[in-house]
Structure 1
Amino acid sequence: MSRPRVLFSAKPERWDETRAPLLQAARDAGLPIDLAKDHPPQAVDYIVYAPNGGLQDFTPFTRLKAVLNLWAGVEDVVDNPTLTVPLARMVDPSLTEGMIDYVTAHVLRHHMGLDAHIGRAPGDWDPVPPPLARDRRVTILGLGALGAACAEALAGLNFDVAGWSRTDKTLPGIRAFHGSAGLNQALHDSEISVLLLPHTPATDTLIDATRLAQMPAGAVLINPGRGALIDDAALLSALDAGHLSHATLDTFRTEPLPAHHPFWHHPRVTVTPHIASVSRPESCARVIVENIRRAEHGEPLLHLVDRDAGY
């Protein structure tokens, strides 16, 4: 069997950090690959791809078997009309672990009211304890791989966890909602809501003024999912009115978030620079190589994108 030719199409810094792990993962799998940044298009079997790497026209890749995305999100490539081969998104244990860490940390921060204790003035002694986790209602919007893992982690800490998804799903110990009516109920009951939905036409600006108004007074919104899930102006209005007590945001419609954006300057907003869940080169390399191995042996690919659903 000839070595599959693999084109790496991403920003240069990703090549520097991912090349050696990809080659090592291939050796470990007993699957030598011909990996390069400059294969002639007509010779390429697989593309390891990031949408910000510049490649947009897949037409010249006449023998291409699959595109293997380095990102969990595929909204920037899924509708590309020149991409007609299978597209696999990144589902990686390190992505899941990082998201659990981020979501758990910020849910606990808001649950415990830690901001009030940081920088407290001397003599400001207000010994009011927070409720127990079992009395705090947390809702995860999106019960895919990341959302389900975060819901289970929070339930393991004894939070009262609900989840919402587009279709009906069942997770042990999690109150599950689905559909439009289910979303309204999930938000109505949620003191802390975490957005872990993909960005699709159906979820664009899903959290608008109407949906924000359905959340209980004083609720917190955490968004490590996609920036376009939220109507920014509506969120700022809800914060200004005091209906929401805080928003912790890790993803934005424009990244990096422009310095003039009101989120940077709002006292009830925490901005983090898209750090909640990042692919680590060693673990994502193993996922990519496993999919190449599967394709070469005629086995179904892992984490295939549903083009109709958009993820």
Structure 2
Amino acid sequence: MNLKKSISIAAIVLVAGLIIYGFVLMSQIFADNTKFSDKEVFVHVPTNATYADVQKMVSDYVIDMDRFEMVAGKMSYPENVKSGRFLLTKGMNSYELVKSLRSNVPVKLAFNNQERIENLAGRVGSQIEADSLSLLNSFKDSIFLKENGFNEDNVMAMFIPNTYETYWNTSAEKFRDKMIKEYRNFWNKERVANAKKQGLDPIQATILASIVHKESVKKDERPRIAGVYLNRLRLGMPLQADPTVIFAIKKKDNDFNQVIKRVFFKDLTMSSPYNTYVNIGLPPGPIAMPDITALEAVLAPEQNDFIYFCASVERFGYHEFAATLPEHNQNAKKYSDWINSQGVKR
């Protein structure tokens, strides 16, 4: 066999070997490398995580870590680890797994019905990387509050209940900054003008809306209740809102988990800036996070001459309204007699 022929055969063998190697390599790269039973899983990579951290996180979901690591290395992933929330789907190959670990998936973050800023921090902290304490500290940051016209009592008014799209690895400060932008977007010129018509600014409107929200779960009744409270404010009357007294009791007891179904006469005289029986005007901050319907009720209240209302014993969940005290006293006695018959102590 001459030299030329030997070189040709060697070249053919080498090419064949490269083809086979390439085929094996490609089959490894593009073969299913997942071992979870669900259709999809999310991997949360913390800020400043290392490649070693990611390896530990995905090991429960990957069939062949050697195959994954080989592809990760070729794609320069170990030097470019990203933090965030990443979606892995069943049947992904190693290339797709690494590619997915580079595509941060947004979170649909939702909150409503929070009673205090501490509750809100906990709710948000359960949905993003930032913990509740860092969120709470950012919400109460004195410089931020002063720059944006809030204080620790009324900062809850900044948060408009809704579902927001953000990233899991959003910091506490960035989340807070996003919320102030959403607040400004919500309080557009039209809403600010509508609040002004009622003699309120956005924070005051939110405080009143929180009382309306707590007074009735019936959304169709909220504009009427808002009308009553605005009538009282215009007359210089105390709001005399039981939900503010309940909030004051919980705040005094430092127990917001207690359930209070009944307010007694002795409660109406307690000393608290949130007690609207002894203080004229609005309390210093929201007593809850009002939903959009409560806010809109304050901005577009029913025009009526009602001054009083109390819970109805005939239409549960609704209220009976009155323009005069004698009429109200009759309604109030009906409710008092009914609640006594039920044996409600607190």
TM-score (norm 2): 0.22
State the structure with more CA Rg. Answer: 2
Higher relative contact order (CA 8 A, sep 6+): 1
Higher helix share: 2
Higher strand share: 1
TM-score (norm 1): 0.24
